[in-house]
Amino acid sequence: GCGTILKLDDFAHVTLITGASEIGQGSETVLSQLVCEELGLPISAVTVVNNDTDITPWDVGVHASRTTFIAGNSAIGAARKAKAKILAAAARKYECAEDELDLAGGCVVRADTGEALVDLARLMRSLHFSDKAELVMTTYYYEPPSVHQDKGFKGDVSAAYAWAAQVVEVEVDTDTGIVKMTRVTGAHDVGRVLNRLGIEGQIEGGVVMGQGYALTEDLMIENGVMRNPNFRDYKLVTAPEIPEMDISFIESMDGEGPQGAKGVGEAPAICIAAATANAIANATGVRIRALPFTPERVYRALHGCGEQPSWKPEA
């Protein structure tokens, strides 16, 4: 699960204090978007605080493609509680039912007509500076529904699952064993695209991560000593080697996800190595079962002197 603390000040600026960490995946933007959609505010009205564990609530960590899904639902929960407090105060002021009001464009509006009644900032100041001052501050903790694994390691442990299919096209130089990845085509069921630029970056980054796993990256440990401890000997994929990418998104609008979204962080990296192995086999007729597919390893396999796997594949 993940916790969220949300505070609105007297200028209708939101401070979102979240347990979720930002490691470059764009979570600050997505969480801000989700909160703004609930509160009818521009994204500039949100500040995300996530860098001090003395202040932020609990979150289990950035892994398992969970941040948008778990932290997003938590942020939405806190925003909806704040919205309910705001509309309750506005309903008393305008002597109407709460469900007759909504938030949009930085204002409290009539739900049926969209007519603006008051700026949200002005309403917030009336709460803060009234005789019985009331701060709009909410907390919410989201724990996803799941079924824990039994002793046979079976159980529906996640609230939603991302699906993907990726096709890798390669060129294999049979004289040198060099494999060139030329194109990757992918389709990802992400539930709903919340931030198009951000999710495209995640998919493209995951593809390149998988490319390195498939073709170049090999951590060599011998007698407890790393034999290739620098980037001269540990080969990372660089910009000229990145293939053309054609990525499509399937929006299935998952019912449990925030605004229908699902996690996607790991999905693009998972498929690439296996698809590359299949592509090499399709191009050469030779099946290689050890990663990475370095020129030497591919050359040896093509010329019948490849490394023998330490395991036997099932029939």
Q: Which active-site residues does the annotation give?
A: 266
3-class state of residue 258 by DSSP: helix
Length of the chain: 315
* Alpha-carbon distances, residue 16 vs 194, 219, 231 (angstroms): 18, 40, 39
Tell the residue number behind the tokens 């002793």, with chain if given: 151
What is the residue type of 198? G
The answer to whether the beta carbons of residues 262 and 73 sit under 8 Å apart is no
Interatomic CA distance for residues 243 and 152, integer angstroms? 41
**Token duo for residue 205:** 């980054």
Nearest CA among 71, 63, 69, 109 for reference residue 90: 109
What are the b/e assignments for 35-52, b being 16+ CB within 10 Å?
bbebbbbeeebbebebee
Summarize the chain as % helix, strand, coil (round to 5): 35, 20, 45
The answer to whether the beta carbons of residues 259 and 34 sit under 8 Å apart is yes
